[in-house]
Amino acid sequence: MYEAQDRLPDEFWTTEELYEMKVKVLEPSKYDKAPVNICVYHLWKGGRDTGLAMITAVESVIDGQEAIDYLWSEVGITAIIGEYSEELTLWNNQKIEALYVVLEKYWYEGNMKLPGSDKVYKWQNWMADLIS
């Protein structure tokens, strides 16, 4: 990812372009060879922890937080960076898919479908051991 000072300001992009870029942060291609971090974002609403966490593969941990804050702002959700792995390459996408299989029974189905909502889980502290 680009350094913060090298990035064009959000005002440079149209609303649709900005939206699409944020979605791509949370939903990278399975065939992408870029290094990623498996990251936990704890979801907060109204200054309180919801007990939910989004677990996803992102190139930049900070960009992931910004994407959630942007895409989920309409429902009042903000993200706080939690646990994350060292960078790995998606060539081993099986590791990421296996993680989702293990966590399947903790998956949280909300009332609204938002980008990344298929990766939201009821957080348990032991899950941090799976990420590192």
Going by pLDDT thresholds of 50, 70 and 90, the confidence category of residue 70 is very high
Give tens-digit pLDDT for 74-111.
999 999 999 988 876 654 577 788 888 999 999 999 88
Residue 27 lies in a domain: no
Look-up: residue for tokens 């971090």? Answer: 37
Total domains in the chain come to 1
The type of residue at 100 is Y
Predicted pLDDT of residue 28: 78
Question: Is 79 contained in some domain?
Answer: yes
In a domain, 16, yes or no: no
Q: Residue 122: which domain range?
A: 6-10+34-131
Is position 39 within any domain?
Answer: yes
Residue for token pair 């942060």: 25
Q: What is the dihedral of CA 111, 115, 116, 118, to 10 degrees?
A: 50
Asked if residue 28 is part of any domain, the answer here is: no
